[in-house]
Amino acid sequence: MLKLKALFEPKSVAVVGASTREGSVGSDTLKNLIKSGYKGKIYPVNPKAKILSGLKCYQSISQIKTKIDLVLIIVPAAIVAQVLEEAGRLGVPAAIIISAGFKDVGRQDLEIEIKKIAQKYNIAVLGPNCLGLINPSKKLNLSFAPLMPKAGGLAFLTQSGALGTAIIDIARDLNIGFSVFASVGNKAVIDEADLISYWKNDKKTKVFGIYAEQLNRPEILGAVIDNLCVGANPKPVVILKSGRTSIGASASLSHTGAMAGNDAVYDAFFSRHGVIRANSVNEFFSYLQIFNNNKHLPAKRVAIITNAGGPGILAVDALAYNGLNVASLSLESKQKLKKVLPAAGSSHNPVDLLGDAGPERYRAALEIISQDAKVDSMLIVVSPQSMTRVDELTHWLVNWQKKCLKPLAVCLMGASLMEDSIVKLRQVGVAVYTYPEEAVKALAALSKFNDSKHLFNDKKVFDLPKINRLSRHEADKIFIQAKAESFTALAEFQVLPILKAYGIPTPKFILVDNNEDAILATKYFKGRLAIKVASPDILHKSDVGGVMLNVEPGDIPSARKSLLRAVSKNNPKARLFGVLIMPMFNPGLAELIVGAVKDNGLGHALMLGWGGIYTEIIKDSTFILPPFNKTVIREMFTSLKVNTLLDGARGAKAADKKAVVDILLRLYRLLQDFPQIKEIDLNPVVVYNKGVMVLDAKITLDNN
């Protein structure tokens, strides 16, 4: 068990690499620790100095004769392992490695070495290649960040130290304080799951904010986040995840050594565990504000109070776009509003106070609406009219918000005229925004967090189907051959036997590689057939003329020759193993795509969507990660447009969803047995009133 308390609350710190050179990381980190007001013992370590910043300097940590809780390492990467080994022999329980030059520059060997040492001595290691750690409430700055954040409710974890310093600065302007700031760097030993698990019971923490380039250990991290969202004091997790594009993911490799991932898998993970994803730094702070400054209560039904009709309408549009509802005010509230509003004002939502509304009118309307049981949250919109007297309104809001129990967002539209009011409101913990759209997005995040709590009520997980040893062996032979022949993908003729072995419905099929067998095949089938090229080098068969449909059995020999001739002309380098022959099938109620994709950090996610030849054009798909229960599966279906067809549109019968779920579970069993599968596509999967049928399939491999 890692001793994380020594990391966050050390009684003594040795700074190895404390420097005499002004402006260096070793110099600034030591000075930050001293200036932060830390009350514990500080031991600078530098063999070339006797005194540093007024403190006795040691040549090595072995010369320090008192107990050391934490060693802060700021030395060249090549000697970090030596320092960590020395700390381990001395029984130091925690270390922060600020030094860079590990897997961030391709030196995985150095990172593996420090990981082994940490495991050998059970050292809690943060980093390497990190900015450090700050615990404001303990007056502890173990970083080279130029600012010391104020204490507060945000626990912030970042994979980028430089972004972290910017976050501290912006947060100060927004009056957001920190319960902890941790730069995780390359995460050789400690990752986000460890830090959240330790910090989850901190009473000061209201929200976890994370900047991530890659996440790992999905089942452990997911379980930790799930535990945050339940109980009397739920704590949301807001994540700003970079590397959404292949170019951005590639750039992250050179930053912290984070491998490129699949962003759809991250979306699935966040959705599965109720994580709020921010798509920009601006969104990130919008969400942090709303969570940090409000109780985590329902926010779906929103009341808008405005002195400007245009912004009110923009807010209504934003509510609809973000899945929130315009609250229907009670009859009692409307009657009370009519008494305090001018005749031209609106007692309906949005409540238009008119442009000449002063603080008194806002006050009267807010006191009525805040008591309405049909209202979950409130958005106050203020435009700078001369009659508004913004300073007076601000003064009243500062006092009124203290007794307001419902979630509240304030939109002060303007610039210089609103500056002072924005500062005053943020100082007392009000979430303030410049535009209605960003305020609504923030309320939507709060609503989403509350709505996601039902995800954790369903504890019963589906059992995966059992596959007998003989069937597993049949599939295993195909994968072994693929690795031996360095295949990067398996074509349909190779995949169908694997699916059949795992109990996934496939058509009757045969592989024909010569004319004699083609003649015999004419006796094997009845009815019209589909003939497809069998080649490991051709995954998109239609593109090279590799598919013929509605072929009569007697025409198999001539169709085979014609098809292979066309493929050879269009792709002369492809290896041809013959043709795959199978019956034509009725269209069914819908065509789906079922599959999976693997992320280097989070593992496999299952995919379900609208299939057929237009699947990439329609783009109606969703992903889920394990563990799978009825709630997760149900939400997977309901998030799809094609679900309308599956439920029986325009009098049609409902599709066999249970059969689709069975394919998903069998597919996941296959992925567990053969983790070298990188991607798998079953498309189309024809769904009937009873049963399903996989008509085409391919697998991409990672045999490294």
Decide: 529 and 555 in contact? Cβ < 8 Å: no
- Domain at 297-456: CATH code: 3.40.50.261
Residue 251's pLDDT is: 52
Indicate the angle between helix axes 359-369 and 331-340, nearest 10 degrees. Answer: 170
The pTM of this model reads 0.89
Say how many C-beta atoms besides its own lie within 10 A of residue 154's C-beta. 23
Q: Rounded to whole angstroms, how far apart are CA atoms 153 and 374?
A: 30
Decide: 359 and 340 in contact? Cβ < 8 Å: no
- 70-84, 522-536, 610-624, 680-694: least confident range: 610-624
Say yes or no to pLDDT of 3 above 90: no
CATH 3.40.50.261-classified regions of the chain: 5-291, 297-456
Residue 259's pLDDT is: 40
Strand segments (E) across 117-183: 124-126, 132-135, 140-143, 151-158, 178-183
Q: Which fold has domain 5-291?
A: Rossmann fold (3.40.50)
Cα-based distances in Å from 454 to 224, 285, 459, 630, 684: 16, 26, 11, 12, 33
The dihedral over CA atoms of 86, 90, 92, 93, expressed in degrees to the nearest 10, equals 110
**Which tokens go with 629?**
């229960």
Say yes or no to pLDDT of 59 above 60: yes
Tell me the pLDDT tens digit for each residue of 193-235. 999 999 999 999 999 999 999 999 999 999 999 999 877 789 9
Tell me the pLDDT tens digit for each residue of 413-455. 999 999 999 999 999 999 999 999 999 999 999 999 988 876 6
Q: Rounded to whole angstroms, how far apart are CA atoms 130 and 118?
A: 17
Tell me the pLDDT tens digit for each residue of 321-345. 999 999 999 999 999 999 999 999 9
For 294: left if phi > 0, alpha if psi spans -120 to 50, otherwise beta; the answer is: beta
Q: DSSP per residue over 223-260, as a string? A: HHHHHHTSSSS---EEEEE---SHHHHHHHHHHH-PPP
Q: What is the mean pLDDT of the chain?
A: 92
What letter would DSSP give residue 128? S
Cα-based distances in Å from 183 to 75, 256, 458, 588: 18, 12, 34, 53
Q: Rounded to whole angstroms, how far apart are CA atoms 210 and 221?
A: 13
Q: Rounded to whole angstroms, how far apart are CA atoms 467 and 683?
A: 23
Q: Measuring CA to CA, which residue among 135, 226, 218, 217 is closest to residue 177?
A: 135
